[in-house]
Amino acid sequence: MATLDELMGWRDALQRARYSGVRSVEFNTGGGGGRSVTYRSDAELRAALAEVERQIAAATGAGPVTMIRTTSCKGT
């Protein structure tokens, strides 16, 4: 299992790649090593980012949002 610092580093790398249009990401895996991953599509990159964010939420004890409140106004 990755540490919280590693997960946050991976999330940052995935976000930088996604927002810059690059599909190749290099991750620091600790101990001076690293690995490079090339994603085939933005959807695949988005799924990887969502998974890392889910793991960060689980590691910090933050659960998913369970209630959404909406309000509306008819106007005058």
Per-residue confidence (pLDDT) for residue 51, from 0 to 100: 92
Contact indicator for 18, 32 with CB cutoff of 8 Å: no
Is residue 67 in some structural domain? no
pLDDT exceeds 70 at position 63:
no
Domain count, the chain: 1
**Residue 3 three-state SS:** coil
pLDDT band at 34 (very low <50, low <70, confident <90, very high): confident
Is residue 44 in some structural domain? yes
Range of the domain at 55: 4-60
Is residue 20 in some structural domain? yes
**Residue 8 three-state SS:** helix
Is residue 75 in some structural domain? no
Per-residue pLDDT averaged across 52-62, rounded? 87
Contact indicator for 56, 7 with CB cutoff of 8 Å: yes
Is residue 46 in some structural domain? yes
What is the model's pTM? 0.66
Question: Up-side HSE of residue 15: CA atoms within 13 Å toward CB?
Answer: 9
Is residue 71 in some structural domain? no
Neighbours of 52 (CB within 10 A): 21
